[in-house]
Amino acid sequence: MIRRYGSALRVVLMLADLTATIVLAIVLSALLYAGDTTGTWDRAVPNPMLVLFLYALTWVVLLWFRGLYRLRARWSIRSEADAVLWATAIMAVATISVLFIVKWPDVSRLFLIYLFVAQAIAAITFRALIRVFLSAARRRGRNVRQVLVIGTDEGAQAFAAQIADHPELGLRIEGFLGDDSALPARWPYLGGIERLTEVLHDRVIDEVIIGLPLAAWSGIDSVLAVCEEEGKIVRFRIPMPALSLARGHVEELDGTVIVSLGAGPTMGSGLAMKRTIDVVVAAAGLVLLSPLLLGIALAVRVADGGPALFRQERVGLHGRRYPLLKYRSMVPDAEALLATLKDRNEITGAAFKMTYDPRDPRIGRFLRRSSLDERPQLLNVLRGDMSLVGPRPPLPTEVAEYDAWHRRRLSMKPGITGLWQVEGRWDPEFDGWVRKDLEYIDRWSTWLDIKILLRTIPAVLREEGR
């Protein structure tokens, strides 16, 4: 979307959320405990105003991570509410954890529940009101900026139509400069590009949009020079390839503008959150499960005297190879015996699965059914080779047989679990597994990861592994 006054609006929203949280805490405490100070937050914690400010500041940071301070053209109350509720859930977990760690048990849980609900309602309501107000003002012609479009081809016209379809942006098409033969009667034609200076002097023009095709950019320097002299904001409509899944963003490197396209998850804050969850959960899992992990290792070792761990080369993010760790669930020469079992493969495509694999000893069958053989992969997660949730980790031999569209599943770190495990585990077609991986990549969010992790628990308890 085209951002205007974005910095000012972000500051207003941040200050509103910060102030509203502090005021709500004070008001709720006064209402809930009128005449009784034993459960109020200010009596239960040291330096209450500092604690309250840090709490409110954390709330603002969480909302920032959810993109709630970005001005967007295509927004909905539902999407805003979903983001606020996600932030509220994280805030609740973080607050209760901190209170437990610092041992402030006297803070009223009832007060916290009311505060969580109230600040979520306040954030949603304030955003809805401010956006409705801005949209209504712009639809009535207030705070509107006049736009001149350079170029008349189909791309420029389509972009102008998008602007016209969103009056809440506050942009109004004043006219076009370019080839009149390419412009329908809907749009005002103001002449050729050589009339740019004249039009800027004769009309009120706030911004200039360059919508020329790439082949016509040879003369763009003169257009930019005129706009710079006149002090006009210039925006570029950059013709992009027709890629249905690619998302673009603009970056800058030492004054050079770079347009980047990505067909996978590219949000830095979201991926940072994913990595944080991976490290915390994997570390906690290794500590809490250490007695079980040691017991399984001893059982595998005693069963046939072979090594407890099995290292197998797998393909990770963008083709990076890494040693995947598992408890050994097969006989020591299992990989050498694979060639003799190819004709008994139950999967169609670049993968191998057998329900009753003769290479599995009795303990190995149990480990695979219960997915306990995969627990050492928590170490892979800590090392950064894998994630808790992601596409299924493939073998190099499988990747060598991939069709072109299969390879997009390598655009995200492989996971211990994923949609392929909770929804497509028994699909006999390898293409079905890949479709689940690509669906995960296209839909990815922190909340989707959490839902998949929760759905993995009953899948493991039902011993659906093989």
Most confidently modeled range among 2-16, 43-57, 359-373, 409-423: 409-423
What pLDDT is recorded for position 343? 55
Q: Are 277 and 449 spatial neighbours (Cβ–Cβ below 8 Å)?
A: yes
Residues 228 and 371 in one domain: no
Q: Which among 362, 383, 380, 364 has a CA at the least distance from the CA of 417?
A: 380
Residues 107 and 155 in one domain: no
256 assigned to some structural domain: no
What pLDDT is recorded for position 1? 41
| Higher-scoring residue by pLDDT: 347, 441 | 441
Tell me the angle at which helices 48-65 and 6-32 cross, rounded to the nearest 10 degrees: 140
194 assigned to some structural domain: yes
For the segment 228-280, what is each residue's pLDDT rounded down to a tens digit?
Answer: 888 888 888 776 665 555 566 666 656 666 666 665 565 566 777 888 889 98
Residues 161 and 97 in one domain: no
275 assigned to some structural domain: yes
> Among 89, 109, 139, which residue terminates a domain?
139
Structure pTM?
0.55
What pLDDT is recorded for position 213? 80
What pLDDT is recorded for position 342? 57
What pLDDT is recorded for position 462? 63
Q: Which among 28, 11, 88, 82 has a CA at the least distance from the CA of 55?
A: 88
333 assigned to some structural domain: yes
Residues 377 and 305 in one domain: yes
Q: How many domains does the chain have?
A: 3
What pLDDT is recorded for position 390? 92
257 assigned to some structural domain: no
Residues 285 and 397 in one domain: yes
Q: Tell me which residue range forms the domain holding 19.
A: 6-139
- Element spanning 312, H or E: strand 309-315
Residues 121 and 164 in one domain: no
> Among 139, 163, 178, which residue terminates a domain?
139
Q: Is the per-residue pLDDT at 204 higher than 90? A: no
Residue type, 279: V
Average pLDDT, the chain: 77
Tally the C-alpha atoms within 13 A of residue 400's C-alpha that lie toward its C-beta: 4
What pLDDT is recorded for position 262? 63
Q: Which two tokens stand for residue 218?
A: 């040879």
CATH code of the domain in which 166 resides? 3.40.50.20
What pLDDT is recorded for position 442? 83
Residues 203 and 275 in one domain: no
Residues 305 and 431 in one domain: yes
Q: How far apart are CA 213 and CA 157, in angstroms?
A: 12
442 assigned to some structural domain: yes
Please give the average per-residue pLDDT across 116-121, as a whole number: 89
For the segment 281-338, what is each residue's pLDDT rounded down to a tens digit?
Answer: 899 888 888 888 888 888 877 776 677 788 889 999 888 999 999 887 665 555 555 5
Q: Which among 156, 24, 139 has a CA at the least distance from the CA of 88?
A: 24
pLDDT band at 414 (very low <50, low <70, confident <90, very high): very high
| Higher-scoring residue by pLDDT: 414, 356 | 414
248 assigned to some structural domain: no
Q: Is the per-residue pLDDT at 33 higher than 90? A: no
What pLDDT is recorded for position 73? 45
Residues 319 and 339 in one domain: yes
Please give the average per-residue pLDDT across 129-138, as a whole number: 71
Residues 131 and 156 in one domain: no
246 assigned to some structural domain: no
Q: Is the per-residue pLDDT at 465 higher than 60? A: no
> Among 139, 169, 191, which residue terminates a domain?
139
What pLDDT is recorded for position 324? 92
Q: Which among 127, 184, 112 has a CA at the least distance from the CA of 9?
A: 127
Residues 79 and 128 in one domain: yes
Residues 133 and 219 in one domain: no
Q: Is the per-residue pLDDT at 351 higher than 60? A: no
| β partners of residue 228 | none
